[in-house]
Copies of this chain bind each other. A is one copy, B any other.
Amino acid sequence: MRTRTTLATAAMLAVAALLGWLMALGRTAALAQDKPDAADPLPSWNDGPSKKAIIEFVTKVTKESSTVFVPREERIATFDNDGTLWVEQPMYNQLAFALDRVKVLAPQHPEWKEKQPFKAVFDGDLKGMVAAGQKGLVELVKATHAGITTEEFESIVKRWLAKARHPRFQRPYTECVYQPMLELLMYLRAKGFKTYIVSGGGVEFMRPWTQKVYGVPPEQVIGSSIKVKYELRDDKPVLARLPEVDFIDDNAGKPVGINKFVGRRPVMAFGNSDGDFEMLQWTTTGKGPRFGLIVHHTDGEREYAYDRGSHFGRLDKALDAASRNGWVVVDMKKEWKRVFPLEK
């Protein structure tokens, strides 16, 4: 009897989670996939310097009679994800995913209790985790993202996203995306740009949901990755995820990743942190018209206010370089009418 009830409850929870996921996707999806309004393609942006610069640039490079016209096939626009398209505070959402995975997997790993960075996870010790640095992060990723097939990993990500809630906003992470940036993605696509995500986050953590949430298909998502191995299991081929780093798509890795996946230099690039510095530099030093933009988190009330000292999304070098290089810096508080899709 006990088992039956538990099973029924589990089934109900699974259905509820799936429905939650579909509904969450449905709500933001409508926004990411719509056609922009020709009269005002960026309605959630106040009439300020950033909106003006974006529209002026896009207009001049897409007008065939323009001296700086860019042919359609060369219109590549690359977007960082964490802090540029969705919230990255109080920690990267993928880190929240990894921490939840550590807890799920803990019973199989009694040795984690005394081992960093796992101990810090159980103690809820964010400082300890941050102190473990990129090495600690890689340890966490190896422990929580590997040892399963690509298809199993995809299901785990989807199930997690359906259930998990942002600790402050108390809604799915996929609803903690920036409405002004959704409009920008849509506007650029309507103007013939191919929009790419170029993120330090895991490529297979993003691909299951970027089409529905951002209108960006999996093949236009570039990210960090672990190695996978082709092998037969019960005579069926699978791709097994190995606990071995393949590529870190951050800092100087971003232009390398763009070259690897796209083979063209972007015309426009969008970021929010020092991790995007080289992508912005690579983009804007190309010949012909180029555009770089930084989202500056200045809105502690509606979202977060952070830059130079931050653990996640530290913005320092790139902010100093912005004026020197003519990069547009968006003052989120002043320039965004609303931050999230579901707000009035």
Contacts of A73 in B (CB 8 A): 211, 217
CA distance A218 to B229 in the complex (A): 25
CB within 8 Å of B: which A225-280 residues: 225, 228-230, 236-237, 239, 246, 252-253, 255-256, 259-264, 278
Known: A73-B211, A211-B73, A278-B230. A237 touches B264 (CB 8 A): no
Known: A225-B260, A252-B230. A237 touches B207 (CB 8 A): no
CB within 8 Å of B: which A49-93 residues: 73, 76
Residue A47 lies at the interface, judged by CB distance under 8 Å to chain B: no
Residue A175 lies at the interface, judged by CB distance under 8 Å to chain B: no
Contacts of A203 in B (CB 8 A): 260, 263
Give the nearest-CB partner of A282 in chain B.
B237
Contacts of A260 in B (CB 8 A): 203, 225, 228, 246
Residue A285 lies at the interface, judged by CB distance under 8 Å to chain B: yes
Contacts of A76 in B (CB 8 A): 219
Residue A281 lies at the interface, judged by CB distance under 8 Å to chain B: yes
Q: Are A219 and B263 in contact (CB under 8 A)?
A: yes
Q: Are B207 and A263 in contact (CB under 8 A)?
A: yes
Cross-interface CB contact of A261 among B219, B228, B230, B259, cutoff 8 Å: B219
Q: Are A230 and B218 in contact (CB under 8 A)?
A: no
Q: Are B261 and A261 in contact (CB under 8 A)?
A: yes
Contacts of A282 in B (CB 8 A): 230, 237
Residue A150 lies at the interface, judged by CB distance under 8 Å to chain B: yes
Known: A211-B73, A263-B218. A255 touches B237 (CB 8 A): yes
CA distance A225 to B236 in the complex (A): 28
Contacts of A204 in B (CB 8 A): 263
Give the nearest-CB partner of A231 in chain B.
B252
CA distance A76 to B194 in the complex (A): 17
CB within 8 Å of B: which A272-321 residues: 278, 281-282, 285
Contacts of A181 in B (CB 8 A): none
Cross-interface CB contact of A219 among B221, B236, B246, B264, cutoff 8 Å: B264
Q: Are B281 and A256 in contact (CB under 8 A)?
A: no
CA distance A221 to B236 in the complex (A): 27
Q: Are B218 and A264 in contact (CB under 8 A)?
A: yes
Contacts of A230 in B (CB 8 A): 252-253, 255-256, 278, 282
Give the nearest-CB partner of A151 in chain B.
B265
Q: What per-residue 1/0 map shows which CB atoms of A179-222 lie under 8 Å from chain B?
A: 00000000000000010000000011001000100000111010
CA distance A204 to B282 in the complex (A): 18
Q: Are B237 and A285 in contact (CB under 8 A)?
A: yes
Q: Are B150 and A237 in contact (CB under 8 A)?
A: no
User: What's the least CB distance linking A114 to chain B, in Å?
Assistant: 36
Contacts of A281 in B (CB 8 A): 237
Interface pairs (20), CB distance under 8 Å: A73-B211, A150-B259, A194-B219, A218-B262, A218-B263, A219-B261, A219-B263, A228-B256, A228-B259, A229-B252, A230-B252, A230-B255, A230-B256, A230-B278, A230-B282, A237-B255, A239-B255, A239-B256, A239-B259, A246-B260
Q: What residues make up the interface of A, taking CB atoms closer than 8 Å to B? A: 73, 76, 150, 194, 203-204, 207, 211, 217-219, 221, 225, 228-230, 236-237, 239, 246, 252-253, 255-256, 259-264, 278, 281-282, 285
